[in-house]
Structure 1
Amino acid sequence: MCFSLVNKYNVAGPRYTSYPTVPYWNEALFSIKQWKQTLIQAFNESNTSEGISLYIHLPFCESLCTFCGCNKRITKRHEVETPYIKAVLKEWSLYCKLFDQKPMIKELHLGGGTPTFFSPENLTLLIHGIKQKATLADDYEFSFEGHPNNTTKTHLQTLFDLGFKRVSFGVQDYNPIVQKAIHRLQPFENVKRVTEQARSIGYTSIGHDIIFGLPFQTEAHVEETIKKTKQLLPDRIAFYSYAHVPWIKGNGQRGFKDSDLPAPSIKQNQYQLGKTLLAEAGYHDIGMDHFALKTDALYTASKSETMHRNFMGYTASKTKAMIGLGVSSISDSWYAFAQNVKTLEDYYQLLDNNTIPVFRGHILSKEDLIIRQHILNLMCHFKTSWMANGLYFEDVPEVILKLQEMQNDGLLKIELNQIFITEKGKPFVRNICMAFDLLLQRNKPETQLFSMTI
């Protein structure tokens, strides 16, 4: 890739798991009452047809990984498991009381933190408690994130028996120098063990997460990591750029110096090398930083243009309502976003008072909904159009002007009332989305809010 393009477009920008992005939420106009109303509206519009999604945040980890930007609580005390599960089920109960019928679950994902910090027995209590107040869609999908070092065969079998058919394992990089820098020491043998166990049990989709741009990481490290990954041939791979945001995550991302990170041009070389190696192994580029074999549901969804993107990342299908349970979780009613409190202490206290533990959110305006759809189209399908379906907005001419230079650089094509991102432009999809981000354009941040796009 041309280094001049990397230098030109390597700016701070959102990853667009939502629009508006969290720093641009209008918290002053948000209320929990409005949030409940929009959620009930979305539920009534879609529960019987498509169901809802659940994201459950399990925040505990036994050790701190310094590359991680997630909300977590570091502890080796496993007695924290039971009270947390009781609190999550209490929150689920409060949500279920809003509805006049049982929720139908289409998707459920356990994220973290480290979900496999919890014992198989406690995970069973959690999922049984969720299921008791719900029905399951015919094509439901349960998935979870597993840590290769502590995911046991009993974890895998127990969750499979509970309905989980998809699992993703955090690999990051196999080089011991890089692993030491990010405080994530896990040998290839551990990843091989859990991958093969999951496959033998019957999981239909196994994913590996690989990161480029880590401290001390070189192209040779990326090549070796993907070479080993090809031996296991997971069904899908998230191959994404390390997001260095120490101003948000505090000491968690200060275990190394900025000078230990590869330069933007080297990061881009790492990405291009990885993308080439993955293509040679049969993986298809299906979205920003995501790759899948033809046999995986995410590949099928990308081809049928049913793939969706939300706070859980890319999913094979869309539900209008997504409820986030657990500390710091974000919920989405399509018409509004709501985020839970970020500390365990506040979370427990609010639930003890029978209060849904939301502390901030955003009610989407008509303009927000239109821009949200354009950004979703670009992130999921690498194209968008404002010809029909109410997707025209008055700032379209200004957006086209902003996109003109990207078209001159070969990153996209503007045709009539639509744009198409080229193969050359795919690594710059975040930059292209930023041209549509009216809130960002109208109120440029004075300090850095987001990670760099390259």
Structure 2
Amino acid sequence: MDKDLLFKYNIPGPRYTSYPTVPYWQKDAPTQSRWEETVWDAYKISNQKEGISLYIHLPYCESLCTYCGCNTRITINHAVEEQYIRTLLKEWSLYKRIFEDERPIIKEIHLGGGTPTFFSPKNLTLLITSLLADCDVHPQAQFSFEAHPGNTTDEHLTALYQVGFRRISIGVQDFNPAVLAVINRHQTFEQVKHLTEKSREIGYTSVNYDVIYGLPLQKSCYIMETMMKVVQLKPDRIAYYSYAHVPWIKPGQRRYTEADLPDPDKKMALYETGKNALELAGYKDIGMDHFALEKDSLYQASINGNLHRNFMGYTDAHTQLLIGLGASSISDTWWGFAQNEKKIEDYTQRVNNGKLPIFKGHLLTKEDLILRKHILNLMTRFETTWQDPKDTCDELYEGLQRLEEMQDDGLVEITPYKLQITEAGRSFIRNACMALDARLRADSRKSELFSKTI
């Protein structure tokens, strides 16, 4: 890969789990009544056609992994589990009230965090069985959870399997002891190996690994060693993404300084080392930071044009309505977003008062919806088209003009009614999305809001 291009396009930019991205949502959150209306409109379309998705945020961790950018609460007091579950179920009841008498059909559940396996197997079973009461499970349902190798037990695996989970995402990050120590991550290769093998023995059909490049003290030889071990265990899919150093947002990252991080040249070497190792082992690049084996459903979805991306990442289980439950969770109706209160106490109080705990959100404009469609297409199909006049707006054509330099560099191809990411441009999808991002281009704070794109 051309290092000059890597340096040229390695600029601050969003991760694009949504468009518009969260910093550019409108200042005022939708009113509860207006949000309920857009949820109901999406539910009427999504539920019978494809089902709905649930993201459940479980924020508790026993210790802070300093690289983490998630909304977490650090505690060793497991008495918090039951109260938090009660609040989640109350929030779900508020949403079910919107659905009236039409039973929800659950297509997708993802447990994120935090550390979902902070919760006991018994309490996770209680949570899922209670959520699914008065619901139907879609025949092609996909239930997944994030697992910390240091605390996920065989009992966790069995309990979640028994309530329908078949996908597990294991937080590997790196196998080098020095790197794990500085990011306060306590786990071993043996634990990851056992968790992977036990999951498959029980019957889990998909294993994902998260691996991060650009961590403090990380070297190319460490990444190579990590990837050799990853390939040995052969997960079905891998999220290989850049460490986002944002200590002004996440103070835990101040445990180390910029001097401990690989400089831009070394970080590029880390990226290329890991990417090349994965491709040599047969993993296919399916989109931003994600790789999958050819037999995996994500790769098949990418080939068939059915890949989707939302706040849970890449998925082949597309639904129009995604409801986020728990502190800081984000819901998506396609026409709008709503994020819950981040502080657990504020979230709990709002729910106990019988209110949806929304503190910010965004209702998409006509231009937002057009650009969202094209940006999503680039992230999931490496191309987008606009033959229908309804798929165009002035902001789209302005974005295409901003892509001329990327076209000159061989990273995109622009033809009448079509924009395509070239093979050489796949590492620069975010940059192409940024060119189409009208709200980003109108703002001057990019360096303060985002980490680097590569």
The TM-score range, normalised by the shorter chain, is: over 0.9
Measure how far apart 1:395 and its partner are: 2.9
Distance 2:318 2:451 in 1: 26
Alignment of 1:207 with 2:226, yes or no, is: no
Distance 2:447 2:268 in 1: 24
Measure how far apart 1:397 and its partner are: 3.2
Measure how far apart 1:429 and its partner are: 0.7
Within a 5 Å distance, the mapping from 1:288-299 to structure 2 comes to 288-299=288-299
Q: 1:340 to 1:164 in 2, by over 3 A?
A: same
Q: For residue 129 of structure 1, what is the aligned residue in structure 2?
A: 130
Distance 1:356 1:404 in 2: 45
Distance 1:96 1:396 in 2: 38
Q: For residue 31 of structure 1, what is the aligned residue in structure 2?
A: 31
Measure how far apart 1:187 and its partner are: 1.0
Alignment of 1:144 with 2:145, yes or no, is: yes
> 1:60, 1:75 within 8 Å by CA — same for their partners in 2?
yes
> 2:308, 2:314 within 8 Å by CA — same for their partners in 1?
yes
Q: For residue 371 of structure 2, what is the aligned residue in structure 1?
A: 371
Q: For residue 255 of structure 1, what is the aligned residue in structure 2?
A: 255
Q: For residue 72 of structure 1, what is the aligned residue in structure 2?
A: 72
Q: For residue 245 of structure 1, what is the aligned residue in structure 2?
A: 246
> 1:301, 1:317 within 8 Å by CA — same for their partners in 2?
no
> 2:10, 2:452 within 8 Å by CA — same for their partners in 1?
yes
Distance 1:44 1:219 in 2: 50
Q: For residue 385 of structure 1, what is the aligned residue in structure 2?
A: 385
> 1:237, 1:290 within 8 Å by CA — same for their partners in 2?
yes
> 2:220, 2:270 within 8 Å by CA — same for their partners in 1?
yes
Q: 1:379 to 1:445 in 2, by over 3 A?
A: same
Within a 5 Å distance, the mapping from 1:66-215 to structure 2 comes to 66-100=66-100, 101-215=102-216
Residues 318-371 of structure 1: CA deviation (Å, up to 9, x unaligned): 111000000000000111100000111111111111111111100011110110
Q: For residue 3 of structure 2, what is the aligned residue in structure 1?
A: 3
2:255 is paired with a residue of what secondary structure? coil
Q: 1:396 to 1:354 in 2, by over 3 A?
A: closer
Q: For residue 267 of structure 2, what is the aligned residue in structure 1?
A: 267
1:246 is paired with a residue of what secondary structure? coil
2:394 is paired with a residue of what secondary structure? coil
Residue 17 of structure 2 aligns with an amino acid whose one-letter code is: T
Measure how far apart 1:234 and its partner are: 0.6
Measure how far apart 1:2 and its partner are: 2.5
TM-score (norm 1): 0.98
1:448 is paired with a residue of what secondary structure? helix
Distance 1:102 1:246 in 2: 44
> 2:440, 2:446 within 8 Å by CA — same for their partners in 1?
no
Q: 1:389 to 1:204 in 2, by over 3 A?
A: farther
Residue 368 of structure 2 aligns with an amino acid whose one-letter code is: D
> 1:145, 1:169 within 8 Å by CA — same for their partners in 2?
yes
CA-atom RMSD in angstroms? 1.2
Residue 276 of structure 2 aligns with an amino acid whose one-letter code is: T
Measure how far apart 1:224 and its partner are: 0.3
Within a 5 Å distance, the mapping from 1:238-387 to structure 2 comes to 238-249=239-250, 251-387=251-387
Residue 355 of structure 1 aligns with an amino acid whose one-letter code is: K
Distance 2:79 2:145 in 1: 21
> 1:412, 1:421 within 8 Å by CA — same for their partners in 2?
yes
Measure how far apart 1:231 and its partner are: 1.1
Q: 1:276 to 1:447 in 2, by over 3 A?
A: closer
Q: For residue 51 of structure 2, what is the aligned residue in structure 1?
A: 51
Aligned length: 453
- Structure 1 gaps of 5+ residues are none
> 1:6, 1:265 within 8 Å by CA — same for their partners in 2?
no
Distance 1:105 1:301 in 2: 20
TM-score (norm 2): 0.98
Distance 1:389 1:276 in 2: 41
1:390 is paired with a residue of what secondary structure? helix
Distance 2:271 2:161 in 1: 33
Q: For residue 221 of structure 1, what is the aligned residue in structure 2?
A: 222
> 2:321, 2:333 within 8 Å by CA — same for their partners in 1?
yes
2:50 is paired with a residue of what secondary structure? coil
Measure how far apart 1:137 and its partner are: 0.8
Residue 424 of structure 1 aligns with an amino acid whose one-letter code is: A
Distance 1:373 1:29 in 2: 22
1:207 is paired with a residue of what secondary structure? strand
Q: 1:446 to 1:240 in 2, by over 3 A?
A: closer
2:145 is paired with a residue of what secondary structure? strand
2:146 is paired with a residue of what secondary structure? strand
Measure how far apart 1:3 and its partner are: 2.8
Within a 5 Å distance, the mapping from 1:425-444 to structure 2 comes to 425-444=425-444
Measure how far apart 1:446 and its partner are: 6.7
2:138 is paired with a residue of what secondary structure? strand
